[in-house]
């Protein structure tokens, strides 16, 4: 099995290294990941500039390729030019921070997995909820690995991204279980802190935090808050199919 | 009616000015748009740095606010801090280039509209197909305005983005009609041109072009290619609802 491993926190991120170490049990892992941190990069790609690449040792066994670009660029370039053949699986992560709820749309981690999915490669995005303590990526990687094994043994699904999140646990704590759940679509409550620079010009800091504690039940946000591993199948067709049949929309034809 | 106008080509783009001029017929238009070109920015947002803003004259009647950030930042900041009240409608565009097919996922124009939709404001994204000639934004704006008027008169739908594309037409040419169509999900055929810098280090140019001529029927790509205005309702819940009920996915619960 050939696995492409990427992320949005950059090729030197500890979450990527932890993922690499467990994924090796499944086959050959090649790492192509951003040279710099690309958090909240969304599904950007690089069209108007070149993508520089560099060899980067990830650990004693693996030298990866870093790309001066976005997570989705890494997947495109890896599949088209860097890997010897089309991979059997693309894994993106382990992200430092949960990608549940509306964060899914901003996430470079998820964007890399979605890019893989529409290039025809099964994809899994891995994200670890942060709390105020030091994250235990090695322990999280073992918990992710259990879900990855089950996803593979059930049959990888081309065109579908499995978005997997793990609670902020440390060894030997275990999640309460695994929940297959839809994405929560509650918006962030954005707040901006307005300041003036020394010359009197304004600038704004986004101070929003995504709160796991106020949510509806039966979503990824609620299950992660309650201590479960969450798995949400995602798609890349943004068409609102129900609305296609809504009379207010259908009657726009003409 | 209070309308927020934004885009991803930057506040000085001719497509934004053309949109401003027709939207004024509907009410008050406030412009908050990126300071610099943000094409293919996807749904990135700015979390780790401040957002600087500047007053920028858009034409004799309107001074807008430029934001050193992404299209989605502009919408968040405008709704939260810059506009006097929540707008009735957010319009993003006119983008220089079509946003049909898988381009929808990369598009900053569409990301701005989706951001508005999940903040609870009806949103319309406007994109003009480019050919080799000089684009006629004024003429395109009139054609977009016809669709905007129909969308408004049918009733604006909160949470739904109307993604509108217009063929590369010049006055007095008319589109063949309007088609409500789903997003085409065929991937780009990515190509990368590998080069070596003067020191022998590699870099890659993405040379892919999104070809309108090879597509399936009954999609946005096909209808735009055939000379129609296309309207696709988009959503921001990426959950693959069909897959939630697939036995391979359901059995991951545990």
The string of DSSP codes covering B175-210 is: -S-EEE-PPP-PPP---EEEEE-TTS-EEEEE----
Closest to B164 in 3D by CA, of A246, A44, A42, A252 = A252
Q: Tell whether the model's pLDDT for residue A60 goes beyond 70.
A: yes
Q: What is the pTM of this model?
A: 0.91
Which tokens is B52 given? 């600087």
Report the gap between the CA of A54 and the closest CA in chain B (Å).
8
Average pLDDT over residues A213-232: 90
Contacts of B157 in chain A (CB under 8 A): 243, 246, 248-249
Sheet holding B123-128, edge to edge: A192-196, A202-206, B51-57, B63-67, B28-34, B2-6, B89-96, B123-128, B161-166, B229-234, B178-180
Looking at residue B40, its pLDDT comes to 66
Q: Tell whether the model's pLDDT for residue A159 goes beyond 90.
A: no
Which pLDDT band holds residue A141 (cuts at 50, 70, 90)?
A: very high
- Return the higher-pLDDT residue of B217 and B97: B97
Q: What is the pLDDT of residues B74-95, one digit of tens each?
A: 999 999 999 999 999 999 999 9
Q: Tell me what the pLDDT averaged over chain B comes to.
A: 92
Which pLDDT band holds residue B45 (cuts at 50, 70, 90)?
A: confident
Structure-token match 């300071």, residue found = B35
Which pLDDT band holds residue A41 (cuts at 50, 70, 90)?
A: low
Any CB–CB contact under 8 A between B51 and chain A? Answer: yes
**Those residues with Cβ within 8 angstroms of residue A145's Cβ, 6 or more apart along the chain or in another chain:** A22, A23, A25
Compute the distance between CA of residue A15 and CA of residue A95 in angstroms, rounded to an integer: 6
Average pLDDT over residues B201-209: 87
Three-state SS sequence of A37-65: CCCCCCCCCCCCCCEEEEEEECCCCCEEE
Low-confidence winner among A4-18, B31-45, B61-75, B182-196 (lowest mean pLDDT): B31-45
Average pLDDT over residues B63-68: 97
Compute the distance between CA of residue B186 and CA of residue B101 in angstroms, rounded to an integer: 7
Of B44, B202, B244, the CB nearest to A233: B244
Q: What is the pLDDT of residues B158-194, one digit of tens each?
A: 888 999 999 999 999 999 999 999 999 887 777 899 9
Looking at residue A207, its pLDDT comes to 86
Closest to B239 in 3D by CA, of A229, A220, A128 = A220
Average pLDDT over residues A145-169: 95
Name the closest residue on chain B to residue A161, using Cα atoms: B240
Give percent of chain B above pLDDT 90: 78
CATH superfamily, with its number, for domain A2-184+214-250: Survival protein SurE-like phosphatase/nucleotidase (3.40.1210.10)
User: Are A183 and B239 inside 8 Å of each other by CB?
Assistant: yes
Any CB–CB contact under 8 A between B130 and chain A? Answer: no
Name the closest residue on chain A to residue B206, using Cα atoms: A47
Which tokens is B41 given? 């920015």
Average pLDDT over residues A125-144: 97
Q: Tell whether the model's pLDDT for residue A40 goes beyond 70.
A: no
ipTM tops 0.90: no
Average pLDDT over residues B136-164: 95
Q: Chain B 160-199, CB below 8 Å of chain A: which residues? A: 160, 162, 177-180, 182-183, 185, 187, 190-192, 194-195, 197
Average pLDDT over residues A5-9: 96
User: Are B106 and A43 inside 8 Å of each other by CB?
Assistant: yes
Average pLDDT over residues B217-226: 93
Any CB–CB contact under 8 A between A118 and chain B? Answer: yes
Low-confidence winner among A91-95, A129-133, A249-253, B45-49 (lowest mean pLDDT): B45-49
Any CB–CB contact under 8 A between A244 and chain B? Answer: yes
Looking at residue A190, its pLDDT comes to 76
Q: Tell whether the model's pLDDT for residue A108 goes beyond 80.
A: yes
How long a stretch of residues is chain A? 254
Query: Residue A232 burial by CB count (10 A; 0-12/13-18/19+): exposed, middle or buried?
Result: buried
Report the gap between the CA of B232 and the closest CA in chain A (Å).
7
Give percent of chain A above pLDDT 90: 78
Contacts of A113 in chain B (CB under 8 A): none
In chain B, domain spans: 2-184+214-250
Name the closest residue on chain B to residue A153, using Cα atoms: B248
Any CB–CB contact under 8 A between B1 and chain A? Answer: no
3-state secondary structure of A154: helix
User: Are A248 and B157 inside 8 Å of each other by CB?
Assistant: yes
Report the gap between the CA of B236 and the closest CA in chain A (Å).
7
Give percent of chain B above pLDDT 70: 98
Of A76, A190, A234, the CB nearest to B80: A190
């Amino acid at each position: 099995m050939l696995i492409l491993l990427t992320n949005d926190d950059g090729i030197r991120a500890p979450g990527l290294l932890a993922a690499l170490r467990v994924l090796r049990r499944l086959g050959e892992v090649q790492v192509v990941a951003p040279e710099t941190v690309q958090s909240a990069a969304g599904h950007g790609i690089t069209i108007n500039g070149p993508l520089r690449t560099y060899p980067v040792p990830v650990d004693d066994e693996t030298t990866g390729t870093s790309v001066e670009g976005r997570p989705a660029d890494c997947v495109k370039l890896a599949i088209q030019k860097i890997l010897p053949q089309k991979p059997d699986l693309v894994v993106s992560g382990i992200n430092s921070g949960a990608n549940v709820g509306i964060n899914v749309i901003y996430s470079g981690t998820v964007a890399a997995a979605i890019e893989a999915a529409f290039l025809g490669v099964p994809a899994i995005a891995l994200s670890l909820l942060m709390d105020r303590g030091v994250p235990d990526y090695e322990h999280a990687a073992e918990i992710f690995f259990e879900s990855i094994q089950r996803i593979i043994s059930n049959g990888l699904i081309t065109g579908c991204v499995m978005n997997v999140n793990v609670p902020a646990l440390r060894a030997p704590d275990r999640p309460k279980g695994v929940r297959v759940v839809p994405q929560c679509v509650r918006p962030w409550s954005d707040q901006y802190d307005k300041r003036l620079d020394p010359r009197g010009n304004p600038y704004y800091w986004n101070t929003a935090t995504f709160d796991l504690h106020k949510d509806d039940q039966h979503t990824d946000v609620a299950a992660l808050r309650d201590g479960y591993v969450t798995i949400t199948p995602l798609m890349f067709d943004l068409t609102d199919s129900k609305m296609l049949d809504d009379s207010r929309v259908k009657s726009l034809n003409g």
